[in-house]
Structure 1
Amino acid sequence: MSSAKRLFLYGVAIINLGIFAGGAGTLLRLVFDIVFRSDNWRDYSQMQLSAGLAMLIIGGSLWFFFRYLIRRATAGNPLETGSVIRKLSLNLILTVSALNGLSSLATLIRSVFSWDSLGGALSSALATLVVTACLWLYHSRIENREGQPSPAARTLRRWYLYILAGFGLVMLAVNSVTLINDSFLALPIWGSYTIESGNWSVIAGSPLSRMVVGGFAWWYFWFKLANNDAASTLRQVYLYLPAVTGSVVTGLVAVSLTLYRILGFAFQHPAEAGFRFLCWTIPTVLTAAGIWIYHRKTIDEEAGRQTPDRHSPRRVYYYLMSFIGLGTMLTGIVYLFGLLLGLIIDSVSSRMVFDAGWWTGQLSLTLALLLTGAPVWIYFWRKVVSSTSEGGVSERSTTSRRVFLYSVLGIGIIAAVTSLIIIIGQIVNGILQGTFESGTLQSIIWGLAVLFSAIPTLFYHWKLLREDQNLGAEKSIRRKHVVILAGESAGRLTGQIEQKLGYRTRKLWLTGEAPEVLPDWSEEQLEALISQISEAEGSDVFLDLTGETPRLLPYRED
């Protein structure tokens, strides 16, 4: 079957499945409204009932027809069963149905806590849950029966698992913080800011139900289904970026706000509602810390089962956190320069330029940004410097480092040029109008602050870039098309070869009787093999790792 035909069949089948599911959900909601004796069923018009029946009959008929065509094409045909389009459609249906089903389950559980307040939401949630559960169970059975016969199929399966695991973790974490925040705000210690507790089931019902559903989803998709996937790159991406980086950023935001509000209170900056913000910032910090500790521990435990090419997610994590820390710290430095320049202008001006006490809020924000951004940048930049020293030119030539350096330089140049335009424009305007005084200086404070911060940043990172270029990090690599034949046990060795080459290879995994496990190669042996590949005749090279010694065979395609 051609790819165009596959795309047509699966695309039309998914659309009609959605219509069929929508019609079934509409009719089920009406049935449940009648069963639960809700008054909402009276609001159903004949048009809604007719539309539900039409969607059910027409969408269902077309879906069954295209499903029949697909089943006939895939019967006894492993190529069709493992096609990317089929696996994409299956995992897409599983993901969407699971997300909708989990949300409906949370609403359904909430109805147990507050039956009267939801009205027809119970019937709607139950109808959606029944439909999505049927869809998920049916397609999950198909996916489990067929398995994942190709690398693309396994990758799509992993996307499905980690999207649902991340969804469950976020739902669990966010609603844990919400529950603690609402609980503390209901205490009679906040004076006029205390929220009305009312019925406890109303306050706790929504976050508690979502905590239960989120915890279940995270347990099922992370611990049960994705437990034996430690060697995959996508798992490392999930661990380092959404889980670890997300928790660090969330915790830093909460810490920054806490410091800002506490410092503002210390500098007698008006606090609108005292320390009510602690009801959510402290739980947020503790929750983010727990998520970070768990996933860092998971990364350390699984480190031994990873091949060398799995370092890329960790490298992205280091540079991303360095970028976030640097940006936060520089923002604090800009505010610091603005504060100092403002104080100087205010002290030498003959009239009041700023409002009284203006500096307290700015000083609080400056210290909060510096106290959070500087430690983050120092910690992660030391990690980057250490890995660069160990990795040499190959580490300096990585895409993550190139993107980081050029991004910082690009943003720095734009900021410096913009600030110069503002400064020169305001000065010239003041001279031409003959009003060059404290008001003109006040208008260029932030331009000067940005310029003073951008210049040393540009100098430092430009120096790093020139060092990399002088060491040959940006020299074009003459890439060859390398095909490696190896057993599954040689995965670590193939990863080391790719790391030394600086680009990916095509790998063929030997089936049947597995060859003997190759011993760990020394650095000298790897360098010698890379030299042989580079010096081999032509641009196509076949590397056989199934014997006692590797065989390198240059070849050409007709």
Structure 2
Amino acid sequence: WALRAPGADPAVDHFEHLPGAIASLAVGIAIWSYHWWRAQDEADYSPTLKVSANRAYEYIVAALGLGALSVASFVIIDTALVVVTERSIELISGVDLWREPVAVALTLALIGGSLWGYYWPSAQRRITPNDAHSERASLSRKIFTFVVLGIGIMALLGSVSATLFVFLRDALDASLSLDTVRDIRPAIGVALTAAFILPYQWSVYRADRLAEPKDDADTVRRKRVSVLAQEGAHELIRGIEDALGYSVDTLNWTDDEAVTPSLSTEALSDLAGKVAVSPGGRVLIVLDAAGARVLSYD
């Protein structure tokens, strides 16, 4: 509406569909908020699981924001080429070919830029000296990086191939003209958009690879750990997961002798050490009045 030409439809006609859009937006926000609340509520049972859930959420929303920015970039580039190639049509018909696409691009850029600009720096800030490997090696980050790089590389190769094909076809046919630019216009938009995004994402990927530990001594060897505990031992389970650095499976102990001991931070650290040096690939932690017993098996 702000980009409308003089003498265009009045605001009341232009915004006649706005109530329906607001209603749809409200429903979408309500559904999003409810599922976010449910996910947080379920993840509260395990601090490690909560970190993983928050991390996955941030990368998903950042990917959506980056996708919106990519579409906005494509629309802007394509619109610029349309204005150049279809200038004669615009002059003859008096129709503005750029107003609606520019409005769409600005909308996508505003939404996508807000999402990506908030959640991606948030993910990057978690790469601290004490937790750099955990964040860089997370499954969510790897999926995000490889999906963006994969889509970007395929889009770049496909658009460059299409551009070369059309150009060589018309060149060999001695028919290079404005129609050639019209034919390769979408491919140029895709190629330039991919060229804007890929260098940065490649630098992120390279930084993650270079930061990987050179040997297994710097990594935590995860084992399949199960804890036999009575119902209501959530706080103790959280402490065990914090000490181990990963989540555990909980087995509900229903016998009368089941107890929930009080373990100090030092005791939890010792327990994590016993799990780490246990010979088996799987570990069962049995809670008792004296503390906890570690039983390993394969």
**Larger strand share, 1 or 2:** 2
**Helix, strand or coil: the match of 1:551?**
strand
**Cα pair distance change 1:456/1:502, threshold 3 Å:** farther
Supply the AA of the counterpart residue of 1:375. Answer: S
Structure 1 residue corresponding to 2:170, chosen from 424, 430, 445: 430
Instruction: Say whether 1:543 aligns with 2:255.
Output: no
How far the C-alpha of 1:327 sits from its partner, in A, is 0.6
Supply the AA of the counterpart residue of 1:425. Answer: F
Aligned to 2:259: 515
Instruction: Say whether 1:306 aligns with 2:45.
Output: yes
How far the C-alpha of 1:311 sits from its partner, in A, is 3.5
Inter-partner Cα distance in structure 2 for 1:269 and 1:424 = 41
**Cα pair distance change 1:296/1:537, threshold 3 Å:** closer
Aligned to 1:370: 109
**Helix, strand or coil: the match of 2:21?**
helix
How far the C-alpha of 1:533 sits from its partner, in A, is 2.6
Deviation string 1:360-410 (CA, Å, 9 cap, x unpaired) is 221121112112211122122233223444743223322222222211111
The answer (yes or no) to whether the contact 1:353–1:439 under 8 Å persists in 2 is no
The answer (yes or no) to whether the contact 2:156–2:194 under 8 Å persists in 1 is yes
Inter-partner Cα distance in structure 2 for 1:367 and 1:510 = 58
Instruction: Say whether 1:483 aligns with 2:226.
Output: yes
How far the C-alpha of 1:426 sits from its partner, in A, is 1.3
Aligned to 1:494: 237
**Helix, strand or coil: the match of 2:176?**
coil
How far the C-alpha of 1:477 sits from its partner, in A, is 7.2
How far the C-alpha of 1:499 sits from its partner, in A, is 6.5
**Cα pair distance change 1:555/1:370, threshold 3 Å:** closer
Unpaired segments ≥5 residues, structure 2: none
Task: Please give the residue correspondences for 1:427-466 in structure 2 after superposition, counting only pairs within 5 Å.
Answer: 427-466=167-206
Deviation string 1:432-474 (CA, Å, 9 cap, x unpaired) is 1112222212222221221111123222222222333333389
**Larger helix share, 1 or 2:** 1
**Cα pair distance change 1:464/1:533, threshold 3 Å:** farther
**Helix, strand or coil: the match of 2:227?**
strand
How far the C-alpha of 1:420 sits from its partner, in A, is 0.8
The answer (yes or no) to whether the contact 2:227–2:286 under 8 Å persists in 1 is yes
Moved more, 379-388 or 405-414: 379-388
Supply the AA of the counterpart residue of 1:487. Answer: Q
**Helix, strand or coil: the match of 2:265?**
coil
**Helix, strand or coil: the match of 2:14?**
coil
**Cα pair distance change 1:403/1:497, threshold 3 Å:** farther
TM-score by length of 1: 0.45
**Helix, strand or coil: the match of 2:228?**
strand
How far the C-alpha of 1:429 sits from its partner, in A, is 1.2
Task: Please give the residue correspondences for 1:16-35 in structure 2 after superposition, counting only pairs within 5 Å.
Answer: none
**Helix, strand or coil: the match of 2:167?**
helix
The answer (yes or no) to whether the contact 1:268–1:360 under 8 Å persists in 2 is no
Structure 1 residue corresponding to 2:118, chosen from 379, 382, 390: 379
Supply the AA of the counterpart residue of 2:287. Answer: L
Deviation string 1:16-68 (CA, Å, 9 cap, x unpaired) is xxxxxxxxxxxxxxxxxxxxxxxxxxxxxxxxxxxxxxxxxxxxxxxxxxxxx
**Residues paired across the two proteins, number:** 289
TM-score by length of 2: 0.78
**Helix, strand or coil: the match of 2:284?**
strand
Structure 2 residue corresponding to 1:325, chosen from 43, 65, 75: 65
**Cα pair distance change 1:387/1:303, threshold 3 Å:** farther
How far the C-alpha of 1:419 sits from its partner, in A, is 0.6
How far the C-alpha of 1:305 sits from its partner, in A, is 5.1
Deviation string 1:507-554 (CA, Å, 9 cap, x unpaired) is 3332224424434637x954x644543332232333233344433333
Structure 1 residue corresponding to 2:18, chosen from 272, 278, 290: 278
**Cα pair distance change 1:345/1:492, threshold 3 Å:** farther
Q: Percent identity?
A: 26
The answer (yes or no) to whether the contact 1:480–1:539 under 8 Å persists in 2 is yes
The answer (yes or no) to whether the contact 2:63–2:116 under 8 Å persists in 1 is yes
**Cα pair distance change 1:373/1:520, threshold 3 Å:** farther
**Helix, strand or coil: the match of 1:545?**
strand
Supply the AA of the counterpart residue of 2:99. Answer: T
Inter-partner Cα distance in structure 2 for 1:344 and 1:496 = 64
Inter-partner Cα distance in structure 1 for 2:206 and 2:295 = 38
Unpaired segments ≥5 residues, structure 1: 1-261
Inter-partner Cα distance in structure 1 for 2:257 and 2:148 = 51
Structure number with greater CO (CA < 8 Å, separation at least 6) is 2
How far the C-alpha of 1:331 sits from its partner, in A, is 0.3
How far the C-alpha of 1:299 sits from its partner, in A, is 7.4
Deviation string 1:230-259 (CA, Å, 9 cap, x unpaired) is xxxxxxxxxxxxxxxxxxxxxxxxxxxxxx
Task: Please give the residue correspondences for 1:31-430 in structure 2 after superposition, counting only pairs within 5 Å.
Answer: 262-263=1-2, 265=4, 274-289=14-29, 306-308=45-47, 309-345=49-85, 356-389=95-128, 391-430=131-170
The answer (yes or no) to whether the contact 1:490–1:517 under 8 Å persists in 2 is no
